[in-house]
Amino acid sequence: MSLGSQAFVANAVASGRKGDAAIVPPSSNGWFMGAGWYMDAIERLVSVVQDLSQARTLDAVAAIVRDAARNLTGADGASFVLRDGNQCYYVDENAIAPLWKGQRFPLNACVSGWAMNHAEPVVIEDIYKDSRVPQDAYRPTFVKSMAMVPIRRQSPIGAIGNYWAVQRRPTQEELAVLQALADTTSVALENVELYNDLQHKIDVLQKQQLRINEQREALDIFTRALAHDLKEPVRAIKSFTEILREEELSPEKYEEYFNFIQNAANRMDDLVQSVFMYAQLDDPTLPQRQEQDLKNLTAAARENLTQLIKGSGAAITEDHLPSLTVSAPQLIQVFQNLIANAIQYGDLNTAIHIRAEEKPDHWLFSVHDNGPGIPPEYLEKMFLPFKRLVKTQSNMGLGLATCRKVIELHGGGIWCESVLGQGSTFYFTLPKSSKVENKP
């Protein structure tokens, strides 16, 4: 035990004493309240102080205090009580028989409340002769005598109680040690509050850093689009407009070149829209998540792809789909991208099947097609922005990246399994719980 710890505890005990006790009766476990007990109590209290200094949660503080309160004085029971509004909340206890752990009583109807309201210790030698004791609450218990000290002497936030199975009046030394424990507990509770506040601020900073990283990622994607993917349609528009200005062309050629220009402009528009949509996925101002019937969302996705589906002759079927708490626009986009991906990379008359399988804590969705399959080396990197098997007008390289980001924002994962010549299956998971937090 360090000299500093000894001095702290000795001062704490001394500050709670009202004078040396002339009579030192034995405690309920046979101890005699003499110099030997006092020094032993100091030693134990120092150890408790050290334990409390390392406590980081209310539960940890409660466990330390409930045991120390009983062991330091040799009581038959001890309770750790906190003020909860206008009630006394019995957080924890250590006793020879159950007391009131987990229960709440009005401040003006229990002894711990009296100790808090008056900011002073209470000693009751006979609980049946004191009007402050709620007889109905104590009668089923072993308690015959008790002592209660407030946690924090100014504006108390709780109390620590000692109980005995026989009529007994604790000594001034016992009461001083118990009060010293309560004073140390108040510091420990403040430390827990400060630690939790600091942890909360760290969590906020980490979320802000994550948001900054996501914004940086979105900026990188936009930069990539400007530096690479927009160049091709811009070059096409520039080239064909120069030809139209400088050369004499037949009406047929004029129409052909104008079509080239229009197609290039459409590609630019599609790319800008894809980048914008990807960058806005985690925007907190977007519609919040609500319970949705996913069958309605797949229907909306198919409607958005009506022309593509008709033109390719694709057949889309699905099993029963559940209702989950999701962002409807984002999940529609996922199904739309996966269906479009299967059609664009597949053959005519591609067959696509959507199903959902219930797992213990999540749903497993799959979108299967009977297309040509995907080479193994593409299965992982095709979910990265601008990674694609074939560069086509209708594929800007952000479809699968968008799917991955949406699913991850919903707390799930997405992957693909494929065998060349036997088709591909895209799997993704969504949690069952409706308590999915909207991203801040």
pLDDT above 80: residue 225? no
Q: Which residue has the higher pLDDT, 305 or 280?
A: 305
pLDDT above 80: residue 220? no
Which CATH superfamily groups domain 3-192? GAF domain (3.30.450.40)
The string of DSSP codes covering 332-370 is HHHHHHHHHHHHHHS-TT-EEEEEEEE-SSEEEEEEEE-
Does the pTM surpass 0.95? The reply is no
CB-based contacts of 56, cutoff 8 Å, min separation 6: 192, 195
Predicted confidence at residue 4, as pLDDT, reads 42
Q: Which residue has the higher pLDDT, 225 or 246?
A: 246
Average pLDDT over residues 182-202: 89
Rounded CA separation 15/179 (Å): 9
Predicted confidence at residue 274, as pLDDT, reads 67
Average pLDDT over residues 314-323: 93
For the stretch 4-15, pLDDT in tens is 444 444 444 444
pLDDT above 60: residue 353? yes
Average pLDDT over residues 181-191: 90
Predicted confidence at residue 26, as pLDDT, reads 42
The fraction of the chain above a pLDDT of 90, given in percent, is 38
Taking all residues of the chain, what is their mean pLDDT, rounded to a whole number?
A: 81
The string of DSSP codes covering 403-418 is HHHHHHHTT--EEEEE
pLDDT band at 279 (very low <50, low <70, confident <90, very high): low
In CATH terms, the fold of domain 285-440 is Heat Shock Protein 90 (3.30.565)
pLDDT band at 219 (very low <50, low <70, confident <90, very high): low
For the stretch 57-114, pLDDT in tens is 999 999 999 999 998 888 999 999 999 999 999 999 999 999 999 999 999 989 999 9
Q: What tokens were used for 427?
A: 């799997």
Predicted confidence at residue 399, as pLDDT, reads 81
Predicted confidence at residue 12, as pLDDT, reads 42
pLDDT band at 256 (very low <50, low <70, confident <90, very high): confident
Average pLDDT over residues 168-189: 90
Average pLDDT over residues 314-333: 91
Predicted confidence at residue 412, as pLDDT, reads 93
Q: Which residue has the higher pLDDT, 284 or 58?
A: 58
For the stretch 395-410, pLDDT in tens is 456 788 888 888 998 9
> Burial letters for 384-417: b for 16+ Cβ neighbours within 10 Å, e otherwise?
ebbebeeeeeebbbbbbbbbbbbbebbebebebe
Q: Which residue has the higher pLDDT, 393 or 20?
A: 393
Strand partners, 356: 365
pLDDT above 80: residue 115? yes
pLDDT band at 348 (very low <50, low <70, confident <90, very high): confident
Integer-rounded Cα radius of gyration of the chain: 36
Predicted confidence at residue 251, as pLDDT, reads 82
Predicted confidence at residue 233, as pLDDT, reads 76
Predicted confidence at residue 226, as pLDDT, reads 60
Strand partners, 105: 88
Cα-based distances in Å from 7 to 19, 46, 71, 315, 329: 19, 10, 21, 83, 66
Average pLDDT over residues 421-429: 92
Average pLDDT over residues 162-183: 91
Predicted confidence at residue 20, as pLDDT, reads 33
- What are the sequence ranges of the domains in the chain? 3-192, 285-440
Rounded CA separation 295/290 (Å): 15
Rounded CA separation 115/133 (Å): 12
Helices (H), 225-327: 231-246, 251-279, 294-304, 306-312
User: Which stretch of DSSP H or E encloses residue 424?
Assistant: strand 423-431
pLDDT above 50: residue 204? yes
